[in-house]
Chains A and B, each alone.
Chain A
Amino acid sequence: MDIYLKAGVISLEFLQSIKMAMRSIQGNKLRSFLTMLGIIIGVSSVIVLISIGQGSSKAVTEQINQLGTNLLTVNVMNSDIVKLTVEDAEKFRKIAGVKDLAPVVSGRVNVRNGNTSTQVSLIGTTASYETVRDVQVNQGRFLSDIDVDYRQKIAVLGANTAQTLFGIDNPVGQYIQVDGTSFKVVGVLASKGGSMGQSGDDVILLPLSTAQRLIKNTNVQTLYIQGKNAEQLDWVMAEVERTLMRMFPDHQDSYSVFNQQDLMDTMSSVTSTMTMMLGGIAGISLLVGGIGIMNIMLVSVSERTREIGIRKAIGAKRKDILLQFLIEASVLSAFGGVIGIALGLAVGQVLSKAIGLSVSYSVSVSLVAFLFSLAVGIVFGVFPASKAAKLDPIRALRYD
């Protein structure tokens, strides 16, 4: 009971001290603001930089995940040397741990609907592509095995292609011209968004066999292989590489095998290093802000030596003076911290609106930044405050 009462009194006094600290901060507005500026800049840059860092790493992760799950990609760079036939590609199904695969022949084609025409990427592939690459069909259907077997002249449009050719009309069932040949549209894909510089939506998908004939190329340029699970992916990758080596000895430079997981790990380690570096730089500016606070508190202590003497003469103990200056430093830095957080969030908003940076806020970062600025105030306030507390009352009173 008594303890609770005491705690109540102490917290009341604490509020009172904060009020007093606010008063002396207000007493010298310009100086207080300039002092806080260091903390404000430090905290807001922490917030902005970490938000950008987290935002871009989130964006990268999303983009990589969009490629498909447990995905291996075999890219043929030099198709004159490495002639990967569809039959070769199908051999990879025998590797244990492979769930499915989708060979792709690709090129660029002109597509036209009436008077509207556009250049898009051609993807000639099989029905497996849908699950391997994890694409979503928005309208109609995807390519089927029968389409491939009977070399059907049907097409599935990427979201942008459909938009360009048909606007808001439903393309399914309509006919378009692909490099002069008429194709029936059977489906439209959902938008995937841009993926590493190129839009995944400016495409047209045709049955593999149809595409081979259209662009007069039977060789597979890209082979997507989906593993059964993430754990086996490395092993599957090694097997794929060994098989390729057997098929095309001495031509390792002409093809490459990507592991989506590796890509993700690399990218996320890059972005997390970047985030940490940005955070570190911002942290240093916070530290500089702290030194500014210490500097101003030292000036304040020597300016207010007389006040300290008076307070001691009427019964202030060391700890009273210590607490007074410590609270002042903390209020100053915490105030700067709050302003800095607000500024950081605002700047982040502006950046994301103005130049389309992906920004990701987190409450924990704001909280940590605030606590850090408070800690900076306390740490850098201790020295000036203890200097004030140790002043000899007589010397302090006589000081001018």
Chain B
Amino acid sequence: MTTPIIEIENMTKTYQLGGDVVHVLSNVSLRIEKGDFLAIVGPSGSGKSTFMNMLGCLDRPDSGSYFLDGREIARLNDNELAVIRNEKIGFIFQNFYLLPRLTALENVELPLLYRGVKTKERQKKAYECLEQVGLLERAHHLPSQLSGGQQQRVAIARALVGNPPILLADEPTGALDSKTSQEIINIMKGLNEQGHTIIIITHDWEVAKQAKRIVRIQDGHLFESRGDLVGISSVD
């Protein structure tokens, strides 16, 4: 069996709210293989985003171990984490989070800028990714000049441009109508077929059931349920 791209053991995260301690994640474990397509579902406030931030190395757990592509994340300092985020992970957020003063093209270029890629090559790759999401003709538009669906496609292009093995999407279709969200999901599925590992948080069952695996978060625990139609894996 190959090493999983993500391996989490007994991860715990608690928040102190006033006097109360909220156990958002208590001793969760999860393995994700290369090329997986995972949907994370759960009620609002259940800790989906918190978990996603752990996966994306934006936040550190209180305890437990996290191996990403064979590296123990807890041992890395802030700079090394920045490099991991840049090279291994592509983030897609619910609210797109594009930089408002940069054009679509410049937004897509950003991850490569922080990787130190030269301007010419950076632009070439950014154009390629914009083409892949079907937005080539909008390359020089500002985010405010784009529709929600177009903005999300720019965000996907930005997540893709560094060719990271993992794509993390926190409710990428939350702000979009069903037709547009299906287009976004189709792009994701295409990327999954190209070999990217995709983890997507969603409230939308129509979206979730298109994933290969569905993981539910509730009361700080993870439950893997069978997708109704696709992807059969055993619960850890």
Contacts and interface: CB of A to CB of B under 8 A. Distances in A.
B79 A317 contact: yes
A314 B59 CA distance: 14
Interface in A1-51: 9, 12-13, 16, 23-24, 27
B114 A317 contact: yes
B91 A313 contact: yes
Interface stretch (B39-47, B68-76, B82-90, B189-197): B82-90
A310 interface: yes
Contact of B97 (A12, A310, A315, A317): A310
A145 interface: no
Contacts of A16: 113, 119
B87 A315 contact: yes
A320 interface: yes
B158 A314 contact: yes
Contacts of B118: 9, 12
Interface residues of B, number: 27
Contact of A393 (B58, B87, B113): B58
Contacts of A13: 113, 116
25 contacts: A9-B118, A12-B119, A24-B101, A310-B97, A310-B98, A310-B99, A311-B99, A312-B82, A313-B85, A313-B97, A314-B86, A314-B110, A314-B114, A315-B83, A316-B114, A317-B82, A317-B83, A317-B114, A318-B78, A320-B114, A393-B58, A393-B59, A394-B53, A394-B58, A397-B58
Contacts of B61: none
A141 interface: no
Q: What 5 pairs between A and B have smallest CB-CB spacing?
A: A315-B86, A315-B114, A317-B82, A310-B97, A314-B111
A351 B183 CA distance: 68
Interface string B105-131: 000001101111011000000000000
A306 B58 contact: no
Interface hub of B79, B87, B97, B118 (most chain A Cβ within 10 A): B97
Nearest to B116: A9
B56 interface: yes
Interface in A285-319: 306-307, 310-318
B34 to A, nearest CB: 21
A397 B97 contact: yes
A164 B74 CA distance: 95
Nearest to A9: B118
Interface residues of A, number: 22
B169 to A, nearest CB: 13
A250 B91 CA distance: 98
A150 to B, nearest CB: 91
A394 B116 CA distance: 24
Interface of B: 53, 56, 58-59, 78-79, 82-83, 85-87, 91, 93, 97-99, 101, 110-111, 113-116, 118-119, 158, 162
Interface in A304-357: 306-307, 310-318, 320
Contacts of B82: 312, 315-318
Nearest to A320: B114
Given A315-B162, A394-B58, 19 more contacts: A9-B116, A9-B118, A12-B119, A16-B113, A24-B101, A313-B58, A313-B85, A313-B91, A313-B97, A314-B91, A315-B115, A317-B83, A318-B78, A318-B79, A318-B82, A393-B59, A394-B53, A397-B58, A397-B97
Contacts of B93: 397
A389 to B, nearest CB: 10
Interface in A349-400: 393-394, 397
A280 B132 CA distance: 60
Contacts of A393: 58-59
Nearest to B97: A310
A391 to B, nearest CB: 11
Contacts of B83: 315, 317
B11 to A, nearest CB: 16
Given A12-B118, A393-B58, A315 B101 contact: no
Nearest to A398: B49
Nearest to A5: B118
Nearest to A311: B110
Contacts of A397: 58, 93, 97
Contacts of B91: 313-314
A3 B196 CA distance: 35
B99 A394 contact: no
A13 B115 CA distance: 11
A9 B115 CA distance: 12
A315 B162 CA distance: 10
Contacts of A307: 99
Contacts of B99: 307, 310-311
Contacts of B56: 313
Contacts of B85: 312-315
B156 to A, nearest CB: 13
